[in-house]
A and B are shown apart, each in its own frame.
Chain A
Amino acid sequence: MNTFKQHSILPGFNLALGFTLLYLSLIVLIPLSAAFIRTAELTWPEFWSIVTTPRVVASYRLTFGASFAAACVNVVFGLLVAWVLVRYHFPGKKLVDALVDLPFALPTAVAGIALTALYAGNGWIGQFLEPLGIKVAFTPIGIFVALTFIGLPFVVRTVQPVLEDIESELEEAAATLGANRWQTFTRVIFPVIFPALMTGFALAFARAIGEYGSVIFIAGNMPMISEITPLLIVTKLEQYDYAGATALSVVMLVISFILLLIINLLQWWSRRRSTIT
């Protein structure tokens, strides 16, 4: 017990821990366990056949693939945006800073409708892409665009404070010690922001996996091609197949949990490595 209890100057550890556990149970664990309990109505072979039908497997591939791609793009461009916002001063910076949060606040359905109107064959952007043979709305590319949109703020907002903490003296010191710009970035700055970047990636990725509102408008929702797993879950609910719907959500939960765990381990490992060296 003693090793478990961390002594702190502030009192109330037991109270705080108790509250945390209660709060997490009420908000997270109980709703999640409801999903598992509903699934328990099924036998194992039933469960397995529901979650491995070709249509469902195609939807996993799309959901996780598009989410992964969108999160990767957001890591690169989110870092760029954060860098610009931290290091440069320009007129209208406050405005740009506020714009970054917009995907947080906008109802996702609105985002979906707006993006569809933009990228459809008769939309502002779509009309120029269509003659080139590029179709965005109603294809998997549209899903990727929507997921990139909703994921951007997660990367920017996690990297920004860390970048702000890096003093530019650090870069100057690296330069005086003979590092070129690339070395300064890869050896000095990147290791410091890497954990934050991974957190941003994990958040954007997790958000994209669960996204429903914006995607259904732009996806086209064709079975085997542009149908995301959350849509299949809703479809099953519409058909009063509660057990089938929860079976799919359990699979999504487990895969997401494993992926997030891997990302956390990676983060932990990189943090340890950067403190040792």
Chain B
Amino acid sequence: MTIKTWLTTSLLTASLIISSNVLAEKTLLNVSYDPTRELYQEFNAAFAKHWREKTKETVTIKQSHGGSGKQARSVIDGLEADVVTLALANDINAIAEKSKLLPENWQNRLAFNSTPYTSTIIFLVRKGNPKGIKDWDDLARPGVAVITPNPKTSGGAQWNFLAAWEFGKRHYGEDKAQEFISNIYKNVPVLDSGARGSTTTFVERAVGDVLISWENEAFLALKEYGSDKFEIVIPSLSILAEPPVAVVDKVVDKRGTRQIAEAYLQYLYSEEGQEIVAKHFYRPTNPKVAEKHAGKFPKVELFRIDDAFGGWKNAHKIHFADGGTFDQIYLK
């Protein structure tokens, strides 16, 4: 994984340098997180076609994928991303804070908190659900093996953690939430570094009874490996995961790609863009398209991180920073 991402990143950078010098053709680099690979492949082709029809210009969009935190770090360290489409706002916050490549109020610039699509966290279990898993409290039961990535390295895992925490808080009270989450993580035999890694562990290595997963990743696994092997279980409560997008101002101004980068993100909100989003099991934010695909997505009570945890910065400080609630699980 690391070698692969590293290779693609360096190849992308190299090809960017070459293509911007040799060809007059416009290129965009979209730096994204792990499970959006298939989504952006299709979306990029659609946008290139749309742009050619509109302006007669040919545009090539390069994509780079990897763990959300790692991708943010590449951009901070100098990878010239025109747009970033990451798993959580905190990673784009980090880019804004550490490298000043975009203003700190970036999230107010596009509709719906700069979130063109949302997702949520659900469970994937083995066919027939042999352990009878129905909700978050079943994950804390002794004898259930739970697969989830390490929240220290994976954006998806942070959503998982927060969803479980909120469930614990609502059902057992504020002071019992830590105990509840500890019981869940004591059932975790493997902490992979990314969401794809966990899916592989659960699906290919047959480890664990339940995978806590992105909704789109769970549907993808079901499509890929067949519904005769796995089942999706919807918990009573989950988190509204908002993977945001942003134009990286300093990069697009330097490369002269601002107009096209902004159009690219706008197009995600268009009806055609939202249709592609829905096709890849992300929840569209456009009400009209969302309505149309309502039957595709399971009904689940969703809460927002801003309401439950007072935003990402706060949640990160309390739960995932060194010595936070996640570290405390393993120190007792």
Contact = CB atoms under 8 A, between A and B. Distances in A.
Contacts, number: 73
B84 to A, nearest CB: 15
Contacts of A239: 69, 152, 320-322
A235 B1 contact: no
B306 interface: no
B298 to A, nearest CB: 29
Interface stretch (B185-193, B228-236, B257-265): B185-193
B207 A222 contact: no
A61 to B, nearest CB: 15
A234 B321 CA distance: 15
B1 A109 contact: yes
Contacts of B67: 238
Interface in B108-122: none
B9 to A, nearest CB: 15
Contact of B150 (A138, A221, A237): A221
A122 B70 contact: no
Contacts of B153: 234-235, 238
Contacts of A244: 322
A63 interface: no
A117 B205 contact: yes
A138 B208 CA distance: 12
Contacts of B73: 237-238, 240
Contact of B98 (A121, A212, A240): A240
B94 interface: yes
Interface in B28-70: 67, 69-70
Contact of A221 (B191, B321, B327, B329): B191
B3 interface: yes
B2 A220 contact: no
A55 B332 CA distance: 11
B192 A221 contact: yes
A121 B330 contact: no
Contact of B3 (A107, A121, A123, A224): A107
B283 to A, nearest CB: 27
B206 interface: yes
Interface in B84-116: 94, 98
Interface in B175-191: 188-191
A137 B150 contact: no
The DSSP consensus for interface residues of chain B is loop
B191 A122 contact: no
B69 A238 contact: yes
Nearest to A108: B3
A31 interface: no
Contacts of A67: none
A198 to B, nearest CB: 32
A123 to B, nearest CB: 8
B331 interface: yes
Contacts of A116: 205
Nearest to B68: A238
Interface string A98-118: 000000000101000000110
Nearest to A58: B330
A25 B295 CA distance: 64
Contacts of A109: 1-4
Given A216-B193, A220-B189, A238 B206 contact: no
A213 interface: yes
Contacts of A164: none
Interface string B151-165: 011000000000000
A220 B191 contact: yes
A40 to B, nearest CB: 19
B70 A238 contact: yes
Given A107-B3, A138-B189, A122 B150 contact: no
Given A235-B150, A238-B153, A239-B69, A120 B207 contact: yes
A220 B4 CA distance: 20
B32 to A, nearest CB: 16
B226 to A, nearest CB: 17
A54 interface: yes
A223 interface: yes
Given A223-B330, A244-B322, A120 B205 contact: yes
Nearest to A244: B322
Interface in A16-68: 53-55
A172 interface: no
Contacts of A235: 150, 152-153
A241 B322 contact: yes
B209 to A, nearest CB: 13
Interface in A201-216: 212-213, 216
A121 B152 contact: no
Contacts of B331: 54-55, 224
A237 B3 CA distance: 16
A32 to B, nearest CB: 19
Contacts of A123: 205
5 contacts: A55-B330, A121-B205, A121-B207, A231-B193, A234-B153
Given A122-B206, A235-B150, A240-B73, 14 more contacts: A55-B327, A55-B331, A109-B2, A221-B190, A221-B192, A221-B193, A222-B188, A222-B190, A223-B330, A224-B331, A231-B193, A239-B320, A240-B76, A240-B94
Interface of A: 53-55, 107, 109, 116-117, 120-123, 137-138, 212-213, 216, 220-224, 231, 234-235, 237-241, 244
Those 3 A-B pairs whose CB atoms lie nearest each other, nearest first: A223-B330, A238-B69, A120-B205
